[in-house]
Amino acid sequence: MRSGRAAFVALAALVALVSWTGAAQAAALVWQSDFTGSGFNNFKSTPWNNVGASAPVLVTSSVNAPAKAARFTVPGGGTRSEIEPNVVNFTEGSDYFFANSFTLPTTFPVNETSWQVITQWKNADDGSPPVELKIGHGNVILDGGYGNPSGPAGSKYWTTTLAPAATGTQTTVVLHIHFSSNTSLGTIDAWVNGAPVLTGYHPIGGTLYPTAKKTKATPAQAKAQKDALAKTPQPKDTPKEPAASPDTAVTTSKTSSQFDYWKMGMYRDNTLTSTATYDLESARLGTTYAAVAG
């Protein structure tokens, strides 16, 4: 009888632990796309994110039917078809995990040598973002920093290859980003299909940009900036968006930073002649790896 009671108590404790663990994980999941149940209702209305391309559409997932996925298509000469999750902006000290599960069809131009961005953490100001995820050269690539206002343009650019770009099968990329304009604090960890591929990476331009004040440059400043830009040409395969004109004087803050906001879909070089189409099965935001990786 005593052993039976002990077994019952142990079982009840196990059930409580499982229930608590499930609740804790659910609480750690801050946002999810839920295309099947919500369509695009968990996203902001941002029609300006469609340039030279149609807005994404809902389709039946090719890898998880009958679930729905978002399909993005940008033809040759087009620029973007993107959506923005209805989530908070990311400020100095923010710390989150992001997951994107997507499928590139066998027709996707994975070997393009110019830029094809599928997810970006965009800065509040103009120019290329601090962090972005690309497909190109046959790989899934993480890079950023070209638009850092502390210039000269391109001097804060960084890039790292995460994995080969697979087609015809789903790929899940999880990023853990600690947001900071301080390069010693801004860090990124990455997993591809559950395998860690990047740990404790500190981008040279941080994961946020510093706030900046822009004024008209004096002739001497403009000449100096043009000379610096000539010595620091645009890195290969980066979006063609300089941080500022050489005729603009930029003073960056040492005490405050911009915010980042999350965008996903397709943003690509409009000189590309190929058509890029892919499906996003799900996207998730959370405070733990376990909450978003499932």
Split the chain (294 residues) into runs of 10 and give each run's mean pLDDT: 51 42 67 98 97 98 97 97 98 98 98 96 92 97 93 88 98 98 97 98 97 93 89 80 78 94 97 97 98 91
Give me the DSSP letters along 276-290: EEEEEEEEEEESSHH
Q: How confident is the model at residue 126, as a pLDDT? A: 82
Say if CB 100 and CB 283 are below 8 A apart. yes
pLDDT at residue 219, rounded to an integer: 95
- Over the range 67-86, which residues count as b (16 or more CB within 10 Å of their CB) and which as e? ebbbbbbbeeebbbbbbbbe
pLDDT at 245: 80
For domain 29-293, the CATH class is mainly beta
As a whole number of angstroms, the distance between CA 133 and CA 147 comes to 15
DSSP 72-131: EEE-TT--EEEE-BS---B-TT-EEEEEEEEE--TTS-TT-SS-EEEEEEEESSSSS-SE
Strand residues in 19-90 grouped as ranges (E): 29-32, 50-51, 57-60, 68-74, 80-83
Cβ atoms within 10 Å, residue 42: 17
End-to-end CA distance of the chain: 41
Residue 154 · residue 146 · CB < 8 Å:
yes
Both tokens of 250, joined, read 């930029």
Per-residue model confidence (pLDDT) at position 13:
45
Round to whole Å and give the CA distance between 47 and 204.
33
**Is the preceding peptide bond at 152 cis, omega within 30 degrees of 0?**
yes
pLDDT attached to residue 205? 92
Query: Are 234 and 97 within 8 A, CB to CB?
Result: no
